Amino acid sequence: MARTATLTFEGKKIEFPVIEGSEGELGMDISKLRAQTGLITLDPAYGNTGACTSAITFIDGEKGILRYRGVPIEQLAEKSNFIETAFLLIFGHLPNQEEALRFRRRLTDNAHLHEDFKHHFQGFPTDAPPMAILSAMINTLACFEHKFLKIGDNESFEEAAASLISKVRTIAAYTYRKSRGLPYVYPDPNRRYVSNFLHMMFSRPYQDYHVDEDVEDALNMVLLLHADHEQNCSTSTVRMVGSADASLYSSAAAGVCALWGKLHGGANVEVLEMLEKIQTSGMSIEDFLKRVKDKSELLMGFGHRVYKNFDPRAKILKAACDKVLAKIGIKNEPMLDIARRLEEAALKDSYFVDRKLYPNVDFYSGIIMKAIGIPLNMFTVMFAIGRMPGWIAQWREQHADKSTRIARPRQIYTGPTLQDYVEPDKRA
């Protein structure tokens, strides 16, 4: 029997259908609310509002569960790699051998940038924020890859998806090289995704460059942990822009801009700066947490709109820190020690416990990226590289849904009521 929710307003009872998701989540369908009652809902940060149904990622924030297409994140982190996970998110299943080979070939064939791209890099100052360059250069892809501005079929979509996932990595590496005055390193067709990224970032011309397998595995895991997270701020931005039938590039570039925010993907930089500030100031953990409780600071990397329990990604990253640092030969990382002490103190403190504030994905990710040698100002770029498959998957799902309409929220107006124009000589 179909479930409904009843709204009583001004003596009128209106029934709204209740839909149930595959994991038992319930949503009241209010698409007829305004027509039937004249009311709209008001939910400024959309904390109670579902924008869509989706079959890509499931999160249970109370239990700390995260699954990509039903596969637990813990299993993917242990057994999969970034590109296989990207395929799973975008196409809905783990690739068979032929699909994996075809997707890898598309990534390899699309790794390079048009030679004229370099002129655009030349225009940026060496201290330009990498996320500003990234969003600009993803938009610039639209100037060089007209064929992907209108995606007509699965074949061109798969090519466009592979191209964007591959090129975002090249753009990131070139951004880093330009900022250091280093020559660009072309993608190496014989390297796998992460190894190729590290090669383009750190290798020197005319020298062999070997990627440590443990580093490659660690970065594969960091990227796949970031690959999707249902309707977060940047993904909702991608969907919003995509709903206007804007191109995949415009939507992804907009996603980069939203992710840059320090409350979102930009938090991974803020966490390291917070840890470094505690270390250099000599401030005690207790003193710092006091500042947080006085609301003079945020405990960056803590808290989440959905997780009211441990972010499962933070658990995996925390466990990986020791292993990765040991394998890279880093015996003592003071940032990890401070992070651990902060977490331990916060999780015993009623201020954080009562507000259900736990470490999120950004709390430990930077420690691993720092150990790998990724510069601090590139941390959020790494988040964007990781999230690109999720944005593409969500954009594709929205475009495939024939009921998709342009997103256009309403408002409640609270400004001046009707008033006439005042001639300049009659104004106060």
With a CB cutoff of 8 Å and minimum separation 6, the contacts of 227 are 68, 82, 85, 86, 89, 386, 387, 389, 390
Dihedral (C-alpha) 245, 22, 74, 195: value to the nearest 10 degrees?
-20
CA distance 230 to 279: 35
CA distance 140 to 250: 9
Count of residues in contact with ligand SDX, rule CB under 6 A: 21
Tell me the window of 16-24, 102-110, 213-221, 257-265 that interacts with ligand SDX (CB under 6 A). 257-265
Among 299, 321, 336, 385, binds ligand SDX (CB under 6 A): 299
Helices (H), 63-126: 73-79, 82-91, 97-109, 117-122
Residue 303 within binding range of ligand SDX, rule CB under 6 A: yes
Name the active-site residue from 120, 228, 311, 362: 362
Residues 305-344 that bind ligand SDX (CB under 6 A): 305-306
Among 288, 302, 379, 395, binds ligand SDX (CB under 6 A): 302
Query: Residue type for 157, please?
Result: F
With a CB cutoff of 8 Å and minimum separation 6, the contacts of 216 are 192, 194, 195, 198
Query: Residue type for 418, please?
Result: L
Nearer to ligand SDX, 134 or 300 (CB): 300
Among 292, 336, 368, 378, binds ligand SDX (CB under 6 A): 292
* CB 333, min distance to ligand SDX, A: 20
Q: Decide if 228 is catalytic.
A: no
With a CB cutoff of 8 Å and minimum separation 6, the contacts of 338 are 275, 278, 279, 285
Torsion over CA: 232, 163, 73, 220 (sign):
negative
* CB 298, min distance to ligand SDX, A: 4
CA distance 39 to 31: 11
Query: Residue type for 26, please?
Result: L
Q: Which string of x and - marks every residue 345-364 that binds ligand SDX (by CB under 6 A)? A: ----------x-x--xxx--
Q: Which string of x and - marks every residue 226-245 that binds ligand SDX (by CB under 6 A)? A: ---x--x-------------
Q: Which string of x and - marks every residue 359-398 that binds ligand SDX (by CB under 6 A)? A: -xxx------------------------------------
Instruction: Name the residue whose CB lies closest to ligand SDX.
Output: 303
* CB 216, min distance to ligand SDX, A: 23
C-alpha distances in angstroms, 184 versus 139, 194, 203, 337? 20, 17, 10, 36
Residue 201 within binding range of ligand SDX, rule CB under 6 A: no
In the block, which residue shows the tokens 């090289």? Answer: 177
* CB 5, min distance to ligand SDX, A: 25
Name the active-site residue from 304, 311, 349, 425: 304
Q: Decide if 210 is catalytic.
A: no
Residue 267 within binding range of ligand SDX, rule CB under 6 A: yes
N-terminal to C-terminal alpha carbon distance within the chain? 65
Residue 73 within binding range of ligand SDX, rule CB under 6 A: no
Q: 19 — phi, psi (to 5°)?
A: -105, 150
Q: Does residue 98 sit in helix, strand or coil?
A: helix
* CB 235, min distance to ligand SDX, A: 7
Q: Which residues bind ligand SDX (CB under 6 A)?
A: 229, 232, 263-265, 267, 292, 298-306, 355, 357, 360-362
Q: Which residues are catalytic?
A: 304, 362
